[in-house]
Structure 1
């Protein structure tokens, strides 16, 4: 009996034109993927329609430079939090990869989720694998045209819904739809709706696995994160070889055959067209379609499931399965620390920002002979409630504040106000003095903010 695993073309599931036709299948992992995809679709399409008070619950308002996330409003000054979120996503991806390879790609990556939805639409319009292959080879007919129109119509409908929802996170979606229908939407808004419709249609409908194989860098650097204990989709060659057809219930082992009947089901269901029996490949997105397909064949043959399964290299070699290990603990600890830090930063971020900008003019003398300097006060209220403040100034004797000393800043508003500060020339030592502006909340226990500036003049 030969122990050699035959090498196959990486595009084993593609036809002569390089097109991959996947077939319909059932299984545990398919159900998990449907559940996960349904939750993601509900989250993506549903969140845009949620309201919070008198506004959209989640809205990235670029025109006003406000980012509303339910009860919180974030400003460009909070951009550092976005960096923290990206870092958490990166280490979350590293952590998942260490545990289970490209499971992110197979179950929750938007490209994969939308690709499966488009494949479903294709199957609804044109039938299963063999029917679609025959349709591709068939000459032009009204029936073929009808099926093609239905398929591309479904693709475009899904793409348009995706684009409208995505743009609806940046432009209020309840206003977006009527504006588009009545042609009142701005040219830029219409452009982005068209752009994301075309991008979704192209990526999920035409490019499909090519995005995962040729454009996504994740498959290329995942090998640096995997180790012998990572759970990846693997073919048990020791159990499956040698491959060959046989009758159910036959004594195949006496014929030198393994459990693999070489039915090609694992290849025919693979969305990237690879043969998992050739070993783990960069093109594998970890969707486990091959596991479901193989398990269904094993059931029919009366063999144990798991010829293709999630397992580790160490376990395939006869060693123990180890989930808890240094790399797992290191990535996990750092991920937890990053999440905790992010929550702390969100909770601790100042809800009121206070800044003072001195006017470019150096100084002037007023009618009383005092020196005056002009300033612009800037107050940003990030909270969801209006706030009142008392303004004062300190740092020199006989300083007086000219202008309003009691201000109110609305919820989520930016307030600017010019003020002047006057002082007697006798108080200036060297012509320059440090002063401080105080912004104290009118409510007891509220914010008390201080920012410093310079006062210039001509000393006596």
Structure 2
């Protein structure tokens, strides 16, 4: 047996794992950035203002878990309405498919909570520490009194904003005015204080500390987005044919025309594309990628690179659109089809689901009724051969006001209700009302469907339940 030695050589002496470099996105102005700013104000405005708005003395949005009631825009939902939540989740999923197939990661760039809150944390950072160059210089510089003051002020502002976010979030589950009173008087419950701090830390960690790393490494959406893209999906793309080869030049210079060489022995200088290699598109990217390398999973479609490139093209007196929203077909010079079978199918499904959801909300019955037949006996025979069936009618008042309800059987059978099956239900109350129906001897045979009607004192029918009346097959 021959002994063999395996020689292993180590290439390089650096660490196996490199620290993720910090991204310093530069502030940019443009039509897409203004749209993102408007989206931030709109979405955060809803988040921070909705708990403070009341309709008829009721908080506009409140998920009252102890009472198992959910108040949303003046409507009250109960656990029995959870099917509506399922419909909302399906609508959200189909909407994600539709908008992704249509125009890529619009959700990530304009509406994702991670994007929205990170944008606010960046605003705070720029306000305290300065622009991109100032922040880079501050981080590379030695610790001194000025740096300590700026860093402390930034962290204090971040923590204050994060705790305000946590307080507002808890205010969707506990009446926010009561929560505010408890906070002012230092009488917060243990769980309320825990969740305020928990969600505050989550906001600080995700939007202030992790930032783009959440999108690059933690969010699963980027991993399966390619399954929803096709050649006609609008994505942010760099026009390689127009921009390459890239290179620096003077403002207004048109280097597409090859200059004649001064000497026949020297080859002519190559023409340059419109990209001046200024790296503005890289400097404004919140995830630190270079869009010129092609579509990448780190791209959140914020379109900051479009605004930056358009500004440079304007200064160079070149046409805009070197980086733009376009499709793979468009880059190849072929006809683009934004409206196509995939988007039409998604749009049709989405419209049907939204219509069904709106109809379900509008058609919700204010009372839930469930008719349960007596389990001990299908029927019983009483004096003179009469037949009786007993039921338990379970009622749920889904309104915010007390209801006086009466129950009766609506059927063509000669049945008579015994007693006065009526009750007054408090808001949200669940009540079981006994109901006995009697048929005289020989008038009803076998198994017969019946309908139980629940009505108000003025006869308005609020709900209907169904069961059966049983009698002997033969006398």
- TM over 0.5, shorter chain: yes
Tell me whether 1:111 sits opposite 2:114 in the alignment: yes
TM-fit CA distance, 1:424: 11
Tell me whether 1:181 sits opposite 2:184 in the alignment: yes
1:165 match? 168
Contact 1:393 1:401 in 2 (8 A): no
Number of aligned positions between the proteins = 442
Q: Distance in 1 between matches of 2:461 and 2:375?
A: 32
- The superposition leaves residues 38-61 of structure 1 with CA deviations (integer Å, 9 ceiling, x where unpaired) of 111111111111111121121111
Tell me whether 1:390 sits opposite 2:393 in the alignment: no
Tell me whether 1:228 sits opposite 2:231 in the alignment: yes
- The superposition leaves residues 342-400 of structure 1 with CA deviations (integer Å, 9 ceiling, x where unpaired) of 1122222322111355788889x9xx9x9999875432122455432223469998976
TM-fit CA distance, 1:219: 1.0
Tell me whether 1:60 sits opposite 2:63 in the alignment: yes
Tell me whether 1:446 sits opposite 2:461 in the alignment: yes
Contact 2:371 2:465 in 1 (8 A): no
1:12 match? none
TM-fit CA distance, 1:319: 1.2
Contact 1:376 1:416 in 2 (8 A): no
CA gap of 1:420–1:233, structure 2 versus 1, over 3 A, is closer
CA gap of 1:417–1:227, structure 2 versus 1, over 3 A, is closer
Pairing partner for 2:291 from 273, 276, 279? 276
CA gap of 1:435–1:81, structure 2 versus 1, over 3 A, is closer
CA gap of 1:319–1:422, structure 2 versus 1, over 3 A, is closer
3-state secondary structure, aligned to 1:345: helix
| 1:180-199 pair list within 5 angstroms | 180-199=183-202
3-state secondary structure, aligned to 2:164: helix
Q: Distance in 2 between matches of 1:337 and 1:436?
A: 31
Tell me whether 1:201 sits opposite 2:204 in the alignment: yes
Contact 2:453 2:461 in 1 (8 A): no
| 1:216-295 pair list within 5 angstroms | 216-253=219-256, 254=258, 255=269, 256-295=271-310
Over the residues paired in the alignment, what is the CA RMSD in angstroms?
3.3
| 1:11-410 pair list within 5 angstroms | 18-253=21-256, 254=258, 255=269, 256-356=271-371, 377-392=393-408, 401=418, 405-410=421-426
Contact 1:213 1:282 in 2 (8 A): yes
Q: Distance in 2 between matches of 1:38 and 1:448?
A: 43
Gaps of 5+ in 1: 1-14
Q: Distance in 2 between matches of 1:248 and 1:355?
A: 78
TM-fit CA distance, 1:295: 1.0
Deviates more, 1:252-261 or 1:64-73: 252-261
CA gap of 1:26–1:81, structure 2 versus 1, over 3 A, is same
TM-fit CA distance, 1:22: 1.0
TM-fit CA distance, 1:149: 1.1
- The superposition leaves residues 316-352 of structure 1 with CA deviations (integer Å, 9 ceiling, x where unpaired) of 1111222111111111111111111111222223221
Which is greater in Rg? 2
CA gap of 1:263–1:360, structure 2 versus 1, over 3 A, is same
Contact 2:454 2:461 in 1 (8 A): no
TM-fit CA distance, 1:27: 1.1
Task: Report 1 or 2 for greater relative contact order, CA contacts < 8 Å, sequence distance ≥ 6.
Answer: 1
3-state secondary structure, aligned to 2:195: helix
Q: Distance in 1 between matches of 2:465 and 2:247?
A: 80
Contact 1:379 1:416 in 2 (8 A): yes
Q: Distance in 2 between matches of 1:198 and 1:279?
A: 35
3-state secondary structure, aligned to 2:339: coil
Q: Distance in 2 between matches of 1:232 and 1:447?
A: 51
Q: Distance in 1 between matches of 2:57 and 2:297?
A: 48
Contact 1:98 1:230 in 2 (8 A): yes
2:7 match? none
- The superposition leaves residues 55-103 of structure 1 with CA deviations (integer Å, 9 ceiling, x where unpaired) of 1121111111111112211111111111111111111111111111012
Contact 1:71 1:384 in 2 (8 A): no
Contact 1:72 1:384 in 2 (8 A): no
Q: Distance in 1 between matches of 2:409 and 2:146?
A: 82
Q: Distance in 2 between matches of 1:371 and 1:141?
A: 95
TM-fit CA distance, 1:181: 2.7
TM-fit CA distance, 1:444: 3.3
After TM superposition, the score normalised by the length of structure 1 is: 0.86
